[in-house]
Amino acid sequence: MGKYNVCVYAICKNEEQFVGRWMDSMSEADRVVVLDTGSDDGTVEKLRERGADVTVEEILPWRFDTARNRSLELVPEDADICVCTDLDEVFRPGWREELEKVWVPGAGQASYRYTWSFNADGSEGVVFWYEKIHTRRGYQWVHPVHEVLKWVGEGSPGPMVTAEGVQLDHHPDRSKSRSQYLPLLELSVREAPEDDRNVHYLGREYMYRGRWDDCIRTLKGHLAMPTALWRDERAASMRYIAKSYWEKGEPGLARDWYLRAITEAPHLREPYMDLALMLYRQEEWEGVLYFTACALAITVRPRSYICEAEAWGSLPHDLRAMAFYYTGDCQSAAAEAEKALALEPENSRLKENLEILKKLAEG
């Protein structure tokens, strides 16, 4: 079919609704293999009807890495390129050709663009670069949740290639529970307490659950780890600590931690925007204008997962519009409201704000 033998592999459970769309997207591969971990709907039958090789096995106790590794075992040994996706993900057409353009014999993995979420109006939300395409031998999935590929082969892995033309979109079932994530993350940290990435994810999960003290404790631990050197992730830990202090009713400590996050990663919009949002709630309008301006001065969107939709959407201009209004500059407020609406044209609140501010500016 192409220069290389390409095999897609996946795990699934009760994802009948996604089978048709997923198989359409993955049909550019030479082969599709799926590990079904216990579906009781029509997932298995539909996959087989569409030509997927499906193996049904229950994974007990449940771990994502165990399931991924078992699904990888199902990939034929003669595959050149393994493409790991989930059934709620869709490649845009032409992905195989774009992948084969950059893949070279001896390559280890491929990096490609991944849209993890979409906004209500269909525009992109969280976007980063993914690395779940790899060569057949030498890789293994590790960690019970938020699993990643680890090189376990002899010598060094082959080079990472960048597939600029490959785009994967995530369209998940939002009704699915995340309840298993926290116990699996706690297990992951117990198994590998020296892994700073796992500790960061655990602290973030505590934040999601509103466990503010656990979040603060865990993420301060992350920051103290000698291996926690990636400034983007360190800044994210500081931001989550700040949010936790804010929620605990300690705005002074929240402000201090947001400032630390800015100092740690001044190249990211998110720390500036978090502090601007806090100052907005405190009606500190000059501070809102200053920190949103700092955020907007950053024009290159990073490729890492630490890149939040709000910071790159209408929010910076929306906050500036409000701050200009409250400081008496209705013309600047209207101009910012227009920029906010351009980024989110279906937002009725932004439309109403712009109409009001235009009238005030003209009056």
Instruction: Answer for the pair 111, 131: CB distance below 8 angstroms, yes or no.
Output: yes
**Per-residue confidence (pLDDT) for residue 86, from 0 to 100:** 98
**Do 157 and 232 share a domain, yes or no?**
no
CA distances from 124 to 14, 82, 333 (A): 27, 27, 26
- Residue 176 in domain: no
**Per-residue confidence (pLDDT) for residue 120, from 0 to 100:** 84
Convert the pLDDT of each residue in 204-221 to its tens digit.
999 999 999 999 999 999
pTM: 0.90
User: What are the pLDDT tens digits along the chain (363 aa)?
Assistant: 579 999 999 999 999 999 999 999 999 999 999 999 999 999 999 999 999 999 999 999 999 999 999 999 999 999 999 999 999 999 999 999 999 999 999 999 999 999 999 988 888 999 999 999 999 999 999 999 999 999 999 999 999 999 999 999 999 988 877 788 999 999 999 999 999 999 999 999 999 999 999 999 999 999 999 999 999 999 999 999 999 999 999 999 999 999 999 999 999 999 999 999 999 999 999 999 999 999 999 999 998 888 899 999 999 999 999 999 999 999 999 999 999 999 999 999 999 999 999 999 997
Residue type, 276: A
- Residue 343 in domain: no
- Which residue, 244, 203, 243, is CA-closest to 222? 203
**Do 274 and 294 share a domain, yes or no?**
yes
- Residue 95 in domain: yes
- Residue 359 in domain: no
**Do 84 and 186 share a domain, yes or no?**
no
Last residue of a domain, one of 149, 170, 191: 170
- Residue 30 in domain: yes
Cα gap 134→142, rounded to integer Å: 15
- Residue 363 in domain: no
Query: What total number of domains does the chain contain?
Result: 2
CATH number of the domain encompassing residue 286: 1.25.40.10
Q: What are the CB-based long-range contacts (under 8 Å, 24+) for 123-126?
A: 123/313, 123/344, 124/309, 125/309, 125/313, 126/305, 126/307, 126/308, 126/309
**Do 122 and 268 share a domain, yes or no?**
no
User: Whole domain around residue 108: which residue ranges?
Assistant: 6-170
Residues with Cβ within 8 Å of 159's Cβ and at least 6 positions away in sequence, in order, are 104, 106, 107, 108
259 alpha carbon, distance to own chain's centre: 24
Last residue of a domain, one of 112, 139, 170: 170
CA distances from 55 to 20, 45, 70, 144 (A): 18, 11, 10, 21
**Do 59 and 150 share a domain, yes or no?**
yes
**Per-residue confidence (pLDDT) for residue 1, from 0 to 100:** 53
**Do 69 and 93 share a domain, yes or no?**
yes
**Do 279 and 305 share a domain, yes or no?**
yes
**Do 74 and 200 share a domain, yes or no?**
no
**Per-residue confidence (pLDDT) for residue 176, from 0 to 100:** 78
Convert the pLDDT of each residue in 141-156 to its tens digit.
999 999 999 999 999 9
**Do 157 and 277 share a domain, yes or no?**
no
- Residue 362 in domain: no
Last residue of a domain, one of 278, 294, 312: 312
**Do 217 and 282 share a domain, yes or no?**
yes
**Do 11 and 150 share a domain, yes or no?**
yes
CATH number of the domain encompassing residue 41: 3.90.550.10
**Do 232 and 296 share a domain, yes or no?**
yes
- Residue 220 in domain: yes
